[in-house]
């Protein structure tokens, strides 16, 4: 099996809380500097910066997976990670159809659409930081219908997480994994909670600033850099595996 250093949770300047230096090009350049092989670009409720990041990734030899971090009706953050942009854009259509409100840049921050040449293409004026009018169960079902992976974000944090908002995995919600921000939590006070959840555990950076990219990585042992292989590794099937 090959070894893939992976950070599946990175925000760009499209996220209102993402630093304006987080352009698709600079993100991928930083990933190369940090020796990452696979990343997922997961902006809040939007995938509008994934295409330029994928193009830069192709030039620099980094597999960029299109994704987004969806904020459910219950205010649970969940990563939706896809192999193809058309899948991510189909999910974005569903999210946009259930997202109301207009961004207030002076309050929440700018939401910049950029191209692969580090130029501003425009601004997204939706309230991307908001919650969509879809429950977690429906979101997870749609992600899977489109062929994606769903990973509950930062379950060890006191807000916007599966544990903080719900405290358990509701019946009918089939997550592929949970993400912890701090792997030490998984081995200490979080151990019992994670055992109860019974799901694969990964860690990632949730970077909003260039300096944070790759500060947490999960290492996947698998054959190729695809979502199908990631799924097998999370399940521990066919000789694939993942470790933090």
Q: CB of 2: closest distance to Zn ion in angstroms?
A: 27
The smaller minimum CB distance to Zn ion, of residues 13 and 222, is found at 13
Between 18 and 83, whose beta carbon lies closer to Zn ion?
Answer: 18
CB closer to Zn ion out of 210 and 222: 210
What is the DSSP-derived secondary structure letter of residue 212? G
Tell me the C-alpha distance between 123 and 72, whole Å: 23
Q: How far is the CB of 227 from Zn ion (least distance, A)?
A: 19
Tell the smallest beta-carbon distance from residue 238 to Zn ion (Å): 30
The distance of closest approach from Cβ of residue 189 to Zn ion in the complex, given in angstroms and rounded to an integer, is 20
Q: Which two tokens stand for residue 162?
A: 């599966």
DSSP state of 145: H
Residue among 220, 231, 230 nearest 1 (CA): 220
Closest CA to 77 of 140, 30, 25, 33: 140
Question: Which residue, 12 or 222, has its beta carbon nearer to Zn ion?
Answer: 12
C-alpha to C-alpha distance for 24 and 106, rounded to whole angstroms: 23
Binding residues for Zn ion (CB under 5 A): 69, 77, 153, 206
Which structure tokens are listed for 72?
């459910």
């Amino acid at each position: 099996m090959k070894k893939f250093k992976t950070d599946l949770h990175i925000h760009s300047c499209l996220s209102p809380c993402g630093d304006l230096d987080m352009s698709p090009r600079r993100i991928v350049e930083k990933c190369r500097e940090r020796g990452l092989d696979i990343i997922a670009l997961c902006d809040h409720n939007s995938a509008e910066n994934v295409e330029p990041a994928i193009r830069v990734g192709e030039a620099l030899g980094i597999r960029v997976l299109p994704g987004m971090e969806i904020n459910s009706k219950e205010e649970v953050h969940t990563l939706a990670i896809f192999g193809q942009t058309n899948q991510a854009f189909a999910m974005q259509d569903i999210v946009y159809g259930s997202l109301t409100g207009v961004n207030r840049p002076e309050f929440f921050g700018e939401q910049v659409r950029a191209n692969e040449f580090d130029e501003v293409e425009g601004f997204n004026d939706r309230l991307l930081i908001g919650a969509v009018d879809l429950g977690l169960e429906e979101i997870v079902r749609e992600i899977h219908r489109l062929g994606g992976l769903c990973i509950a974000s930062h379950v060890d944090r006191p807000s916007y997480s599966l544990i903080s908002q719900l405290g358990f995995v509701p019946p009918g919600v089939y997550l592929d994994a949970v993400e912890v921000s701090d792997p030490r939590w998984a081995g200490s006070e979080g151990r019992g909670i994670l055992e109860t959840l019974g799901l694969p555990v990964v860690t990632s950076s949730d970077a909003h600033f260039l300096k944070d990219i790759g500060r947490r990585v999960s290492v996947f042992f698998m054959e190729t850099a695809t979502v199908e292989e990631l799924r097998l590794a999370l399940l521990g099937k066919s000789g694939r595996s993942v470790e933090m």
